[in-house]
Amino acid sequence: MAKVKLGLAAAALLACTAATVPPPARDLPANALVIATTGQLAPVLRKVAADLEHRRPGVRVLVEPVGSDVAMSDLFTHRADLAIIGRAAFDPELKAFQWIFQHPAAAWPVLEGSSSAAGHSAAVRVLVNAANPIREISVRQLDLIFRGGKPIYWRDLGVAGALGERSIHPIMPDTEQGSGRFIRQALFGDATLFAWSRVKEIAEPIHRDGSDDRLNKRLAAAVARDPQAIALASGAAAGTRTVPLECPVCDPSGVIQRTVYAYSDPRLRPDANAFLRLLVTETEDRLIDPAPYRQLPPQAAAELLKRLR
Amino acid sequence: MISAIALLLGMQSAAGAESPAVHMWPAPSPVALQTVASLPPYRPRARVSGHIVIWGHGSATRDFMGPLIRRWSAEFRRYQPGVTFENRMYGTSSAIGGLAVGGGNIAILGEEISPDAERMFERARGYKPTKVEIANGSLATNYFDYAHQIFVNRANPLARLSLQQLEEIFGAEHRCAPRNIRTWGELGLKGAWANRPIHPYSWTTDEDFALFLRERALCGSHRWNPATSEVHPIQKPDGSQYDLGQQIVDRVARDPLGIGISNQRFARPDVKALPLAWSAKGTYVAATDASLISHQYPLVRIIPAFIDRRPGQPADPAVAEFLRFILSREGQAALIEQSGYLPLDAKEADEAQKWLR
């Protein structure tokens, strides 16, 4: 009798501690590779998909332009095999995957962004009004302008004349959204505290597939209207009344460049592996039109191909 | 027999699980029991059927939400046998994603919805998710959204704060309050204190705990006082984590000009938690089970469930009925017995049902 009671008690306690919730089953066509991505990346991925389908009859690839954040949700809910996005995944997105699958997602850097076209995972641009004579700026100066405790004047950056006596009006994308977050990660060590008494943020419109470029146009327009303005943008964004500054972050080959990542389960399906290999080894000419991304540098491409072997 | 069960639990623990029944939350307090007893019982409004998939707060290694979900499901099925359930409680990070892409019907979060998650849902569905408040956070129980408390150094003569003053201290945009407060004199302290600067300490300002304060005290602004010192994860020499809440309290203890957001779990004799009020003319109260349930204490956490409800359309009938059950006497009784949360009172439970009617 005592043994029965022990068994019942133990069973009851184990019922309370039965912890593991299994990951969701793959909710996709068995014979199709499903890729969730952004509106900007979809054209180039579709070209690679068509190439793969041509080379490997029987393989079917579905490319779904849903935006980076939804793409990551599709991945961790098992509604996509690959999420290919124009940024590094955010911490909660990676946590979500790990908590569900009990191992981290694999991150494969597959392309680089371009600085030559707006809205294509581009590098940071610094814009001033066309009437402003300044032509270069350092990251330290940007930090003082956007985060420093004291107001900064254009004379502090070497600008003479009437403009030099005026304060700088810093503008950046909403620091909570994609481009603003990328900029604060790239330039400011992911800081969240800025000189709010002078920094103006411009919100990023929410678009179903993430292909909207109104943000960069708004930033450029704000700089065009205000001779005292300086704006951080992610993309070309320069117009006739604005000028991009020379700076380390503006150099297309510079260290701060957006990378396009593919996220997946580390145990890649064979068709996903083949897709990534093809994406990385496609000739650059094929990628330039219609989506101006750039191939990985040769060493990075070689390392990725080694990982995919 | 006890030692045999303990051995069994030890084996389970080694496999990565803990027994919620043993030490994860305290027994319900008298005020929680009284509150639940005052709620109306569940009365089915309609016979419903369907399959409800719940995503949300939980963990694959610490099953602190599993017992509650299982009890809610089992009791609800006594009234509505046509409804089946699926538990996808992997953690708050995945909850809104599961809801947004159609993988689930209810997302129960362990904290406030993040702006990123809300934007992601809106991008996927074209409208915002619908929030239904289902519980109050605990006073001081880990994993169950403990209340935020404002600590100052014991040497500081400040005796109380209003929510507006919190915004003035910790914010920079002052969406609701009229100004910034940066010195102790602006809070009414005299003498040597008057011109001394305030040194705010907080959780990392774009992460979960601070998101709550942003919503409740900063009127949704992410523009925190740039002078705020944020704490970051630190690993202690023994490999354990130096808890962020403990770091904040410890820094306030070392800094007489400090003010920090933390919880009484981390309190020490050389700091004090301030009574708070919703407004300057309101009642200043300390955080207790009673003041949290009554919402007299302004920094009570409120546990949301989110559903996908198209604007102008009713909620899914089975989902709506299940949420009505959660908000009933039976649902809230299960809540306080099978989790560390506090119940909603009758007024809040009724208010929470506005989207379900």
DSSP string over A216-262? HHHHHHHHHH-TTEEEEEES----TTEEEPB-GGG-TTSS---EEEE
Domain residues for the domain of B106 are 23-139+301-355
pLDDT > 70 in chain B, percent: 93
Tokens of B256: 């007489």
**Can you tell me the distance from the alpha carbon of A177 to that of A171, in angstroms, rounded to the nearest whole number?**
14
Q: Which of B18, B60, B115 sits opposite A17 (nearest CB)?
A: B18
Tokens of B68: 């509650």
Average pLDDT, chain B: 90
| Mean predicted confidence (pLDDT) in A236-252 | 68
| Mean predicted confidence (pLDDT) in B237-251 | 93
User: Are A166 and A149 within one domain?
Assistant: yes
**Can you tell me the distance from the alpha carbon of A105 to that of A265, in angstroms, rounded to the nearest whole number?**
5
| Mean predicted confidence (pLDDT) in A228-247 | 79
Distance of alpha carbon B330 from the chain centroid = 21
Residue with tokens 């709010």: A196
Residue A59 domain flag:
yes
The reply to whether B149 touches chain A by the CB within 8 Å rule is: no
Average pLDDT, chain A: 82
User: Are B167 and B60 within one domain?
Assistant: no
Specify the CATH number for the domain of residue B203: 3.40.190.10
User: Are A235 and A133 within one domain?
Assistant: yes
Domain residues for the domain of A155 are 124-250
| SS3 state of residue A131 | coil
| Mean predicted confidence (pLDDT) in B276-300 | 97
User: Among B15-19, B88-92, B192-196, which is the least confidently predicted range?
Assistant: B15-19
The reply to whether B17 touches chain A by the CB within 8 Å rule is: yes
| Mean predicted confidence (pLDDT) in A170-183 | 87
Residue A11 domain flag:
no
Specify the CATH number for the domain of residue A246: 3.40.190.10
User: Are B47 and B109 within one domain?
Assistant: yes
Is A13 within 8 Å of B100 when comparing Cβ atoms?
Answer: no
Q: Which of B21, B62, B96 sits opposite A13 (nearest CB)?
A: B21
| Residue B161 pLDDT > 70 | yes
Residues of A in contact with B124 (CB under 8 A): 66-67, 70, 73
Q: Which of A93, A102, A192 sits opposite B206 (nearest CB)?
A: A192
The reply to whether B62 touches chain A by the CB within 8 Å rule is: yes
Residue A74 domain flag:
yes
User: Are B350 and B278 within one domain?
Assistant: no
- Cβ atoms of A276 and A45 within 8 Å: the answer is no
| CA dihedral for B209, B214, B215, B216, sign (positive or negative) | positive
- Confirm whether the ipTM is greater than 0.85: no
**Can you tell me the distance from the alpha carbon of B33 to that of B28, in angstroms, rounded to the nearest whole number?**
7
Residue B13 domain flag:
no
Confidence at A26, pLDDT banded by 50, 70, 90: confident
| Residue B236 pLDDT > 50 | yes
Give the CA angle between residues B95, B100, B105 to the nearest 5°: 70
Number of structural domains in chain B: 2
Q: Kindly report, residue by residue over B102-159, the tens digit of the pLDDT.
A: 999 999 998 889 888 999 999 899 999 999 999 999 999 998 999 999 999 999 999 9
What's the Cα-to-Cα distance from A159 to each of A227, B64, B135, B322, rounded to whole Å? 12, 61, 58, 66
Residue B208 domain flag:
yes
pTM: 0.82
